[in-house]
Amino acid sequence: MTEKTKPGLDPAEIAELTRGSLDVPLHIFLGLELVSQERGRAVARFSAGPNTMNCAGAMHGGIAYALLDVVCFLALLPMLARGEHAVTHDIHVSVLRPVLPDQEVELRGRVVQKGRSLAFCESEAWAGGKLTSTARVTKSLVRRSTT
């Protein structure tokens, strides 16, 4: 079976894996919510509350790193073949401006290209109508554990 003819995940499997990603304790703690998800694109959001702030009074860059990665996974998920999973291989994040307390942050992820063993994604974080950070994420495609 070629890569193009491998059966994809059915909608129930996509929903289950999406829920599993959103239900990671860190993501729950940060209040991450899915806004939309389709093949190759996803949008999520959270509020930059007190648990996300650094000592300078702005959102910690590590929060952006983690959640920009997650939104890329959510965009890639509807493109995965049955039994396939994606893990972060490499991530590069640029923080462009601070996110201030209580700002709502919108995360936008998209798949640039998916091959047989790697997927290349990009994501952005927006707050207060301004681009606050960007990411380029490479995902390794691996067999999903069934146990």
What are 41-88's pLDDT values in tens digits?
Answer: 999 999 999 999 999 999 999 999 999 999 999 999 999 999 899 999
Strand partners, 137: 91, 121
Give the model's confidence band at 7: pLDDT under 50 very low, under 70 low, under 90 confident, else very high.
Answer: confident
Token pair for 122: 């990009």
Which pLDDT score is estimated for 139? Answer: 98
Is the confidence at residue 5, as pLDDT, over 70?
Answer: no
**What is the pLDDT confidence band of residue 2, given thresholds at 50, 70 and 90?**
very low
Single-letter amino acid, residue 9: L
Residue 79 inside a domain? The answer is: yes
> Sorting pLDDT into bands at 50, 70 and 90, what band is 145?
confident
Edge-first strand listing for the sheet containing 84-95: 33-38, 41-47, 104-114, 118-127, 130-143, 84-95
Residue 68 lies in a domain: yes
Check: CB of residue 101 under 8 Å from CB of residue 48.
Answer: yes
Q: Kindly state whether residue 131 falls inside one of the protein's structural domains.
A: yes
- 31, exposed or middle or buried, with CB in 10 Å at 0-12, 13-18, 19+? middle
Evaluate whether residue 30 is within a structural domain.
yes
Q: Which band of pLDDT confidence, cut at 50, 70 and 90, is reported for residue 8?
A: confident
Domain containing 64 equals: 8-143
For the stretch 89-119, pLDDT in tens is 999 999 999 999 999 999 999 999 999 999 9
Predicted confidence at residue 4, as pLDDT, reads 56
- The answer to pTM > 0.75 is yes
Say how many domains are in the chain: 1
Helices 11-22/61-76 angle, 10° precision: 170
Q: Are 62 and 99 in contact (CB under 8 A)?
A: no
- Which is nearest to 127 in space by CA: 84, 86, 97, 147? 97
Q: Is the pLDDT assigned to residue 3 strictly greater than 70?
A: no
CATH number of the domain where residue 92 is located: 3.10.129.10
The answer to whether residue 97 sits within a structural domain is yes
Q: Is residue 22 part of a domain?
A: yes
Answer whether residue 85 is part of any domain.
yes
- Please indicate, yes or no, if residue 3 is contained in any of the structural domains: no
Picking from 70, 136, 62, 79, the residue whose alpha carbon sits closest to that of residue 107 is 70
